[in-house]
Amino acid sequence: MTLSDKVLERLRSGPQEPDLSGTRYRLLERLARGGMGVVYAAQDENLQRRVALKVLDLPEAAGQAGDLATRLIREARVLARLEHPGIVPVHGVGTLADGRVFYTMKFVEGQRLDKFLETVASAPDRLRLFLRICDAVAFAHARHVLHRDLKPANIMVGPFGEVLVMDWGLAKILPEATAEPLSAVDPDATLFAPDSSSAHGNDSTKSSVITGHGTVMGTPGYMSPEQARGEVASLDARSDIFSLGALLRFMLSQPATGSAAPRLDRSLAAICAKAAAENRDARYGDVQQLSLDVSRYLDGLPVSARRETIFEKTIRFYRRYRFFILLMLAYLVMRILLLLILKR
């Protein structure tokens, strides 16, 4: 049998590339690869807009298909319940003609955080960016969702400076009633709140346990020690706070293009250290506390992560009220000069 160029291309990409026949989407290009699937750019033919389409890899073994499909559907549902400007919105979920599960989400045009930082030299600008990331994570925590994979590669910055937290594939949903860690049968389990409206009546998203294929999931350097130890059942918001601390340290130490590596201020270093403390009891209790400390630093106020010496307090006081202090000094100097002149 002779294979035409067109058939050749189909066969080369065919086994993995999603077969979008029967859907309203047209495949445009491959964007990125994730842990369990690939993200493509696709055109929504009905709404005439570009979307990002995440689709599972073809399962290597028959038993894997169900697990991965469940995880992808779960990720889509996690996103669906997180309607926030800082979290990429999901448009829909479905099954391809070849049986693979996919979901579509907003196509984010922008840069990954690590790339974006190359263009931002100012520490206050970086801190304001970090606060927007904190807003999105705090919102997710308020909805009882832990991200569990916060890192520069999973943060996108749009053309207008908008921040989007991406890739919620490892997210963990805490039980809403207590928001406390529960003991699960599976030590590598993710808890999922029962959902009576599930369209997938028999899938395990309705139950409480989704396994992570027996492996520790996360990214070294950004993953909390308890997550790295595989204590999945006992994870709480402080695990994401550890990741935020590591993220903040990265954001403040990454040099912009053409400039030297910035020096980390002691207060900021203390904030990073507190957020990313080995012992989770020593970390901030929630993301708002972390945000508050960063905001206080930006406003020239003392931060809770560090006790200042009198000298440092004076310096900070001077920096904060420099204009008024200089004004007062100028006034006093003028008064003294005036008195001296009049005494003559």
Partner 1 sequence: MTDLTQSAGDRFPATRWSVLQAARSSNQAERSRAIDTLCAAYWKPVYKYIRLRWNRPVPDAQDLTQGFFVQLLERSLLEKFDPAKSRLRTYLRLCADSFVMNEQKAATRQKRGGNIAHVPLDFSAAEQELGGAAPVDPASIPSPESLEEFFEREWIRGLFELAVEDLRVYCGAHDRERTFLLFEKYDLSGDDGVSYDRLAGEYHMPVSHVTNCLAWARREFRRIALERLRELCGSEDEFQREAHAVFGWEAK
Cross-strand bridge partners of residue 51: 42, 106
Nearest to partner 1 of 38, 155 (CB atom):
38
Nearest to partner 1 of 12, 213 (CB atom):
12
Where do we find the tokens 């979008």? Answer: 20
Encoded amino acid at 134, one letter: C
Smallest gap, in angstroms, from Cβ of residue 153 to partner 1? 19
Where do we find the tokens 């003028």? Answer: 334
Smallest gap, in angstroms, from Cβ of residue 76 to partner 1? 20
Smallest gap, in angstroms, from Cβ of residue 37 to partner 1? 12
Active site residue 149: yes
Pairing of strands 155-157, 163-165: antiparallel
Smallest gap, in angstroms, from Cβ of residue 73 to partner 1? 18
Residues that bind partner 1 (CB under 8 A): 1-4, 6-8, 10-16, 19, 21-22, 58, 60, 97-99
Nearest to partner 1 of 18, 152 (CB atom):
18
Maximum separation of any 2 CA atoms in the chain, in Å: 114
Question: CA 128, CA 122: separation in Å to the nearest integer?
Answer: 10
Structure tokens that stand for 139 in this block? 């919102």
Nearest to partner 1 of 6, 344 (CB atom):
6
Percentages helix, strand, coil for the chain, rounded to the nearest 5? 40, 15, 45
Q: If residue 72 lies in a helix (H) or strand (E), which one and from where to where?
A: helix 62-80
Question: CA 272, CA 247: separation in Å to the nearest integer?
Answer: 9
Task: Write down the catalytic residue from 44, 135, 149, 286.
Answer: 149
State whether residue 148 is helix, strand or coil.
Answer: coil
- The catalytic residues are 149
